[in-house]
Amino acid sequence: MGTDEAGLAGLAERYEDLIDEFAGVPGVVPPRGGSGFGRSALRYQGKIFAMLVRGRLVLKLPADRVSALVGSGDGVNFDANKGTPMKEWFSLDPDSDRDWLPLAREALDFARGSAR
C-alpha cells in the first residue's frame, strides 16, 4: 500500500474501520482529534493503546511481544521523534500483511491489564 497520498488515505480509512470496531466497548474512547501527540489515539480508561502516526498503526504491547513482532519483520519499535525507540510501542509497517484488529485487541488487553 505504501505511504504515497493514496496509500495514506487508504490507511486512514482502514484506521477509521478499526475505530468503528471498538465503538461501544466499555472503557474505550475514540480519538478526540485536535493537535499534538495522541490526537488519533484509541484509549482505554485514558491510556493510549492504538493510534495512527505518520501513516503507521502504532500499538502499545508488552516489550517481549514488540520484540517478537520487530523480529518477524512486521515493523519497528515506535520512536516519537525523540531518537529513542520505545520498548513497549510497536509501529506496524504499512505494507505488512498482519491483520490490524487482532493486534489492536492485544493492545487493548494489555491496556486493560495495566489499568488494574
What cell numbers appear for 9 in the block? 488515505
Mean pLDDT of 79-100: 89
Identity of residue 2: G
Asked if the model's pLDDT at residue 27 lies above 90, the reply is yes
Contact 88, 63 (CB under 8 A): yes
The model carries a pTM of: 0.88
The Cα–Cα gap between 50 and 111 comes to 10
| Residue 104 banded pLDDT, cuts 50, 70, 90 | very high
DSSP letter string, the chain: --SSHHHHHHHHHHHHHHHHHHTT-TTEE----SSSTTTT-EEETTEEEEEEETTEEEEE--HHHHHHHHHTTSEEE---SSS---TTEEEE-TT----HHHHHHHHHHHHHHHT-
The Cα–Cα gap between 51 and 40 comes to 5
pLDDT reported for residue 35:
67
- Higher per-residue pLDDT: 3 or 86: 86
pLDDT reported for residue 75:
95
Give the chain's domains with CATH numbers.
5-114 (3.90.1150)
Asked if the model's pLDDT at residue 54 lies above 80, the reply is yes
Asked if the model's pLDDT at residue 116 lies above 70, the reply is no
The Cα–Cα gap between 86 and 89 comes to 5
pLDDT reported for residue 115:
58
Contact 110, 61 (CB under 8 A): yes
Mean pLDDT of 31-37: 75
Mean pLDDT of 45-73: 95
